[in-house]
Amino acid sequence: MFWFYNVINTLTIGLIGFSMPAGPARNRMVLYLAIGALLWNFLSILFQEVSTSVQWERWEGTIEYSFMAPIRRVTYLGGVCAWAVLYGLVRTVVILIAVAFFFHINLAGADLAGAAMVLVASSVPFIGLGLVAAVLPLLSTERGAQATQVIQGVLLLVSGVYYPVRVLPEWIRWAAVLSPATYTLDAVRKALLSGASVTSLFGVSLGLLASGVVLIPLGLGIFTLAERHAMRTGSLKRNG
Amino acid sequence: MSIAGAEFVRPVPVDPQALALCAVGVHKSFRERESGEHQWRRVDAVSGIDLAVPRGEILGILGPNGSGKSTLIRILATLLVPDRGSVEVFGYDIGRHRLLVRRLINRVSVEASFFKKLTAEENLAYATGLYGVPNRQAQAMAREILERLGMPAKKLRVPLEQLSRGQQQKVAIARALLTSPTLMLLDEPTTGLDPKSRREVQQFILDVRQRHDATIVICTHDMDEAERLCDRVAIINRGRFEAVGPPQELKARHGATMEAVFFTLIGESTAEER
C-alpha cells in the first residue's frame, strides 16, 4: 500500500510540470520534479530505515534481546544499513519504472553512469545521518520517532528537492550547504538533464564519500554513547 | 536432548573450576520522578548484592514486586551497568568481556518480547541469526523444544500476536535455549501460564539443567516453583538479599513452608511500597 502511495505521489509531483506550456521546458521540468521525488524517496529510506528499525525493536521490546546477542554494534547496524540500501534501491527502481511508463521519459542525452555514481556515493553520508537519527528512538521510543520526522522535514525543505536552493529565503539558505542531499540532487540533475559526465561529477562524488567518512563514525560514536546511557539509566526496557 | 546452537555459537573457553556466576557488592539505583512533581529522587533498586552460583546450580530469586529481581537479572544479562560492584560469569567480567559473556548467557523475561506480526519461525530465525545459528538447524530444534513443552510445531507458522501468552512464553524459552546458553537467566518464565503449561515449563527447566549442564537463575513469585526447582533460594527485598539457602534450610530457620519463610523475611505489608 505504501509503495502504491509512493508511486502516486511521485506521479502527482511530476504532473505539476504539466502546468507549463508544452515543449522542451515542460519536459525538463517534469524530469526535474520526478528526479527530486525519486531521489528523495531513496535518500529518505536510507535516512529513515535505520531509525525505524531501532524504533520498531524498542516498541516490540526485542531490542534487549538484539543488544544481548554476542555481536558488535557495528555489525548489527551494518546489517540494518545494508537492508536500507537494498530496500531503497528496489523501491526506487519500482517507482522509476512507473514514472518512465507514465511520462514517457526520454533519457537519450542523460549520463546514467554519472547519476548512478553520485547515487552510490550519496548513500554513504545518508547512512551516517540515519545512524545519527537512530539515536533518537533509542533514547525515547515515541518522541524519538517524532524528532526523526522533524530532521527529515528540515532536509526536505533546504535540500532543493523540488526547487532550486536559490529560491529559499536567505536566512535559511545556509542550511542547504550542510545537507548532502543538496549536492546529490544537483549532481544527479546535471547528469540526467544536462548529460554531465562521470569525470565532471567525480569531485562531487568524492565530496559525498568524504562527508560519509565523517558522518558514519560520528553516527556510530553517538549511537554507542546513547546505548551506554540507556544501559546506565535502564531505558532500554519496555516492560518489567 | 542436544542443544541446537551448541555447535554453531563460537565456544568460549571456560575454566571448569570457575563459578558460573559471581557478584560482589552490586549496587544499582535509578532516578525517579516524584509523583506529580518536577523533583527527582534516587531509588536503590539493587543494594549490595553478593552472589556465588556454582556451575549446574538452579538458584531461585524470590521477592515481591519492585524488590529488584528484574534489575538484578538485567545486570547479569549485560543490559544494565551496575553503579558499583562487579559481576563475573565463568570468570569473565561482564563489563570488560561483554561479548564473551553474551555468548555464555541468554535470558527469558516475564514479557515475551517478539515482533508480533511475524511468525514464531521468523522471530526465531532473526534471534538465532544474531548468534550465527543456521536457520534450518534452529527451526528443527525449535520444533523439538516446543513439542517437549507441549506446543504443536504447526504453531511456529502462526504470527506471534495470535498465540496465547503461554504459547508466546514457550517460544521465548525455545529462543533462549537455541543459542546454547551455559547460564540461563529466567525472569518469571511461568507467570501467567496455566497450571499444565507451568508444569511443562518447570519440567523442561529441570531437563535442561540435567542434560545440558546449564546453570539457571530463575526469578519467581511462585513459592512451590521455587521449592520444586531450586537448589538454593535467595529472598530479595528492597534490593537486598534477606536470606540465601536451600529451601529445606530456609524452612528449618524461618517457617514451615516457603510462603511462611517469605512472609517472615519480607513482612506481610511489603509488596509494592516503593
Q: Residue B24: phi, psi to the nearest 5?
A: -130, 120
All domains in chain B, ordered by first residue: 4-8+18-31+43-266 (3.40.50.300)
Dihedral of alpha carbons B144, B122, B7, A62, sign: negative
- DSSP one-letter code for B159: B
Which residues in chain B touch residue A61, judged by CB atoms under 8 angstroms apart?
Answer: 111, 113
Distance CA B254, CA A103 (A): 83
Choose among B79, B115, B175: nearest Cβ to A64.
Answer: B79
Which residues in chain B touch residue A234, judged by CB atoms under 8 angstroms apart?
Answer: 30, 71, 74, 80
Which residues in chain A touch residue B10, judged by CB atoms under 8 angstroms apart?
Answer: 70
| Alpha-carbon distance B78 to nearest alpha carbon in chain A (angstroms) | 7
Is the CB of residue B183 less than 8 Å from the CB of residue B89? yes
Spatial CA neighbour of A154 closest among A166, A137, A172, A141: A172
Instruction: Tell me what pLDDT residue B100 has.
Output: 95
- DSSP one-letter code for B21: E
Distance CA B204, CA B151 (A): 13
Instruction: Tell me what pLDDT residue B36 has.
Output: 67
ipTM of the complex: 0.88
Using DSSP's 3-state secondary structure scheme, residue B172 falls into helix
**CB-based contact B79 A62, cutoff 8 Å:** no
Interface test with B, best of A52, A60, A65 (most B CBs within 10 A): A65
**In this predicted model, what pLDDT tens digit does every residue of B224-257 receive, in sequence order?**
999 999 999 999 999 999 999 999 999 999 999 9
pLDDT beneath 70, residues of chain B: 1-10, 36-37, 268-274
| Alpha-carbon distance B28 to nearest alpha carbon in chain A (angstroms) | 9
Would you report the helix, strand and coil content of chain A in percent, each value rounded to 5? Answer: 85, 0, 15
Distance CA A98, CA B54 (A): 64
Interface residues of A toward B, Cβ cutoff 8 Å, are 56, 60-62, 64-72, 76, 228, 231-234, 236-240
Structure-block grid coordinates of residue A227: 546505548
Torsion angle in degrees (nearest 10) through CA of B205, B211, B214, B218: 10
Instruction: Tell me what pLDDT residue A171 has.
Output: 94
Is the CB of residue B23 less than 8 Å from the CB of residue B14? no
Choose among B71, B110, B131: nearest Cβ to A69.
Answer: B131
Which residues in chain A touch residue B175, judged by CB atoms under 8 angstroms apart?
Answer: 65
Is the CB of residue B46 less than 8 Å from the CB of residue B18? no
**In this predicted model, what pLDDT tens digit does every residue of B131-171 receive, in sequence order?**
999 989 989 988 988 988 888 888 999 999 999 988 999 99
Structure-block grid coordinates of residue B56: 549446574
Contacts of B201 (CB under 8 A, 6+ apart): B149, B169, B170, B173, B189, B190, B193
pLDDT beneath 70, residues of chain A: 238-240
Burial class (CB in 10 A: 0-12, 13-18, 19+), B235: buried
Is the CB of residue A134 less than 8 Å from the CB of residue A66? no
